[in-house]
A and B are shown apart, each in its own frame.
Chain A
């Protein structure tokens, strides 16, 4: 039996009040998983704990069988994180940014340079590779950050609201890039407010509210559990979260 891409057990986190309470979640490898929830549900907090940016109060996190709390660097080596605000340096060019990220992941320079060239072409950034990021649109910045997330060939790619603020063409490019990752056997986890995206792209969907996982499964499984057969994900989502 293969290891799940992400296994979370009993995860809890409180700030001034409990944000995540005893969350259990398991996401199989090689799928695109959409984590949905109303504002303040705890989606971003959960993913920040998975990526090591926020320390959990309790619980375990395993990424492809590696304990993210006990062996953070091993877990980080196979993970990429793309927040809603791209983690960029305005004064660096896309090429320089990718070189820096490759250095952080200690990639072989020749391999990294080749991969950077491929990503810059693939994400249509080649002509802007020597232009500083400070003048880029949000969509361009998001693509540069996505290239940075992909350059070390992560097995698990986690994206927080990756399509927010992108125009249709940019959103299509990002969605194609995510689907290509899944087709290549990688695992992608996204949070999104755009339910149509989850409906059309996700292999499985998790709905989180009040720091707990309310429902999880394929779209059909969610509809069945919510009693909304034949209806949209939006109807299902509202039904499931209205009582939370």
Chain B
């Protein structure tokens, strides 16, 4: 067996090391892990059931399915590229092992390729859990052509990893080391939301649907996705060897080109990323203007400053608000059937819940210096109250927008909405306070993975108060 082990210091050896690190980063304990396993098993069970039902049924590559595969591939690819940008940023700026790797007598290209493979693996794994647990049982139980989905997934992941790294390094070169991380995070958020936003803008005026559905409808109208280049994903998914070879070739080619050509930029990006440049701006202002009487004002000032100096975080929060829009419309069906004010009332509470929850997570769970707070002569409850108030104040300006809009139609409805918005927001903040898990601010995007129960409770509570607000406004007229 020892002969099968890759030579230390080589690409395969480093790649295995990356895979091992990636594997060990999975949640080790807690409800999140077991809920994840349970959902995966249920999904796999559903796949097995489908495979059994369809075992003797032919699954032809119908034009609609081919178009659907294309639409799904495009949307998945945009998310994969986002994931790759985030993964590249983490590799460049957060993982401490580059110091060790670059100080070792290993070729820089080998390091880059291994890191790139690690990013590819994590992307592929994410989608494999969703897609392959469903498709593989069907393929195994009588439709071997569907193994083509594995090739499609690998090709997309390889290409996304290469493009994501290219975007990250290109932005680092364009924006400079100081702004590289922020610009990269904004680019990732924009790309992640691009298809959603564009598809919503391009959708038919009277309805809101998912990005995949809208793309599917557009492609179907134009007959795209069945032949030529646009047909490649569909043909590959159905096991067409030529399409598989072409797509894997494109993915592997991009991967290899990225590994070969980006080595110098990767090294520069890593070296600049390590400098952690900071703004030096002697203002000459009197120091005593910073000192406030009272704990609440000190906590407010600190939380506001930390938020205001993190533009990428603000951007992520705003983008989340945009994502909420279709939930409101889905909840109320078609736009033209929904009385405007109740819809806005529901949206107002949902928005406030999300905002206060996000800000409360930042102020309470993502505290950078918990020990400093713990050694201060102030009770935890007092600090928590101050932080919750700060979170509430941060959300308040945006929470007022929709009640003001409702006031144009129904002033009483606006008051009821305002009350429900405040209560819903406060409840979401309180849930975060009680159930939130300590984390780094940089983990904002994955904050719910720390407390799934908290996330679910927050959604339920805001939905209840949102429904109450909408019903009240509807009855008030």
Residues of A participating in the B interface, judged by any CB pair closer than 8 Å: 51-53, 72-77, 79-81, 83, 87-92, 95-96, 98-110, 112-114, 116-117, 120, 127-136, 148
Contact = CB atoms under 8 A, between A and B. Distances in A.
B287 A95 contact: yes
Going nearest first, the 6 A-B pairs with the smallest beta carbon separation are: A103-B298, A135-B278, A113-B288, A104-B376, A77-B377, A109-B291
A130 B294 contact: no
Contacts of A77: 377
Contact of A90 (B368, B372, B375): B368
B374 A53 contact: yes
Given A103-B295, A109-B288, 5 more contacts: A53-B371, A77-B377, A104-B377, A106-B294, A113-B290
Contacts of B377: 72-77, 104-106
B290 to A, nearest CB: 4
B25 interface: no
Given A83-B371, A99-B298, A100-B301, A130 B291 contact: no
A99 B292 contact: yes
B277 interface: yes
A96 B239 CA distance: 62
Contact of A109 (B293, B305, B368): B293
B374 A135 contact: no
Interface of B is mostly: loop
A81 B375 contact: yes
Contact of A76 (B279, B310, B376): B376
14 contacts: A53-B374, A74-B377, A76-B377, A80-B375, A88-B368, A89-B302, A92-B305, A99-B291, A103-B297, A104-B378, A106-B377, A107-B291, A131-B278, A135-B277
Nearest to A127: B282
B283 interface: yes
Contact of B378 (A73, A80, A130, A135): A73
Contacts, number: 127
A102 B298 contact: yes
B306 interface: yes
Given A87-B369, A100-B301, A131 B279 contact: yes
Most buried by A among B298, B369, B375: B375
A108 B372 CA distance: 19
B280 interface: yes
A171 to B, nearest CB: 23
Nearest to B379: A73
B281 interface: yes
Contacts of A73: 377-379
A111 to B, nearest CB: 9
Interface in B281-331: 281-283, 285-288, 290-295, 297-299, 301-302, 305-306, 309-310
Please indicate which of the listed interface residues A89, A96, A103, A114 has the most CB atoms of chain B within 10 Å of its own CB: A103
B276 interface: yes
B375 A129 contact: no
B306 to A, nearest CB: 5
A108 B371 CA distance: 23
Contacts of B293: 108-109
A122 B152 CA distance: 64
B375 A112 contact: no
B309 A132 contact: yes
A87 B376 CA distance: 12
B445 interface: no
B38 interface: no
Contacts of A79: 375
B287 A116 contact: yes
Contacts of A129: 282, 287
B375 A51 contact: yes
A120 B287 contact: yes
Contacts of A113: 286-288, 290-291
A96 B306 CA distance: 11
B292 A91 contact: no
Contacts of B281: 130-131
A104 B295 contact: yes
B285 to A, nearest CB: 8
B179 interface: no
Contacts of B298: 99-100, 102-104
Interface string B83-116: 0000000000000000000000000000000000
A113 B291 CA distance: 6
B299 to A, nearest CB: 7
B301 A117 contact: no
Contacts of B290: 95-96, 98-99, 113
B295 A134 contact: no
A228 to B, nearest CB: 37
Contacts of A108: 293
A101 B372 contact: yes
A117 B306 contact: no
A116 B310 CA distance: 26
A87 B302 CA distance: 14
Contact of B276 (A53, A89, A107, A134): A134
B12 to A, nearest CB: 36
B373 interface: yes
B382 to A, nearest CB: 10
A19 to B, nearest CB: 18
